[in-house]
Chain A
Amino acid sequence: KNQVEQSPQSLIILEGKNCTLQCNYTVSPFSNLRWYKQDTGRGPVSLTIMTFSENTKSNGRYTATLDADTKQSSLHITASQLSDSASYICVVSAPGSARQLTFGSGTQLTVLP
């Protein structure tokens, strides 16, 4: 069964600090991996997409990494801001049908002043 496991489940950090969120997946075959940010009461918004051949991709203060051999991804947030407080969801896509998007349960990040 395709699964996406995220850790930690929740994380509290102080403003200005860095943090790293983890995503392990068992989805096979693999098409791509996305990280989404979901603010409370809103829909998820795509941050980055990683394909099989990509190891690192940055989007501002967000840097995603992918190790397709070990089926692991991470999202590193640099110099956190209060507005980074949100749930970060890892989504792995398999080629084929639309249902082949496997969502993780998310990491709830809280940034404190």
Chain B
Amino acid sequence: DTGVSQNPRHKITKRGQNVTFRCDPISEHNRLYWYRQTLGQGPEFLTYFQNEAQLEKSRLLSDRFSAERPKGSFSTLEIQRTEQGDSAMYLCASSLEDRGGKLFFGSGTQLSVL
């Protein structure tokens, strides 16, 4: 396991459809984060898991968004009834609790809502 893996890399969907993204963190990392990034901006925090527990959620995470990490390993981010404003890069990151906050990012899933 050489890094954080995200699938798919790209997703094109029509407005109103549901989409699901997957993130496989570095295996020994207990913390997992989801971020959203639009062009020319830094990542915006969405949610955070420690093991299987979802400990924090941003108010950006509307009721159309849900994230899970059922066994404390991989995580999924689902967006229901997608809107054009959801178009962005969705980044997953993982970290070890005692590493001073160093995040290891995946390559992201680029979502385009038509």
Contact = CB atoms under 8 A, between A and B. Distances in A.
B56 A49 contact: no
A99 B45 contact: yes
B61 to A, nearest CB: 11
Nearest to A89: B42
A103 B102 contact: no
Q: Give the bracket for the number of chain A residues in contact with chain B.
A: 20 to 34
Interface string B38-60: 00111111001010000110100
A36 to B, nearest CB: 8
A86 to B, nearest CB: 13
Contacts, number: 63
Given A89-B42, A98-B31, A43 B100 contact: no
A103 B44 contact: yes
Interface string B70-87: 000000000000000000
Chain B interface size band reads: 20 to 34
A43 B108 contact: yes
Interface of A: 4, 9, 31-32, 34, 41-46, 49, 51, 89, 91, 93, 97-99, 101, 103-106, 108
Contacts of A46: 102-104
Nearest to A98: B48
A98 B102 contact: no
B105 A44 contact: yes
A104 B48 CA distance: 19
Contact of B101 (A4, A32, A43, A103): A32
